[in-house]
């Protein structure tokens, strides 16, 4: 029987930690500030001018867009390699099954030939 994989948002603490780790790992290379606590950022930039604030928010939006692009590339690459692994395993399984059936058929043919010799 084939089990169905249930995909749902995880409530597992380890899964959330992995997500935080991946976010931090990627975002540190894109816009390090976006790995910091937002309260610290608000305090640091409390006195910035509206123009500076708008520029920073635009920089952050570009960083989030880049994050999405990078994460999408990673997901696409992982999907491609997972599909390749699945196809390779499927192919090996089919070859093994064909070899096994050929051996069984050969054995049956030999038994039938042996039966004909005795008849």
Lowest mean pLDDT among 9-18, 48-57, 76-85: 9-18
Cα(51)–Cα(57) distance, integer angstroms = 10
pLDDT at position 62 over 80: yes
The owner of tokens 């997901």 is 75
pLDDT in tens, 65-112: 999 999 999 999 999 999 999 999 999 998 888 787 776 667 656 665
Short-list 83, 32, 88, 84, CA closest to 60: 32
Lowest mean pLDDT among 8-17, 29-38, 57-66: 8-17
pLDDT at 75: 95
pLDDT at position 41 over 90: yes
- pLDDT band at residue 5, thresholds of 50, 70 and 90? low
Residue partners of 71: CB distance under 8 A and separation at least 6: 22, 26
Please state the φ and ψ torsions of residue 10, each to the nearest 5 degrees: -80, 140
């Amino acid at each position: 029987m084939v089990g169905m994989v249930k995909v749902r948002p995880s409530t597992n603490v380890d899964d959330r930690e992995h997500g935080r780790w991946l976010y931090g790992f990627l975002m540190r290379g894109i816009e390090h500030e976006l790995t910091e606590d937002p309260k610290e950022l608000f305090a640091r930039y409390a006195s910035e001018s509206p123009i500076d604030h708008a520029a920073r928010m635009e920089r952050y939006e570009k960083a989030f867009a880049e994050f999405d692009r990078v994460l999408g590339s990673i997901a696409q690459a992982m999907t491609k390699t997972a599909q390749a692994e699945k196809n390779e395993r499927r192919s090996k399984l089919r070859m093994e099954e064909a070899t096994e059936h050929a051996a069984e058929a050969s054995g049956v043919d030999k038994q039938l030939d042996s039966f004909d010799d005795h008849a």
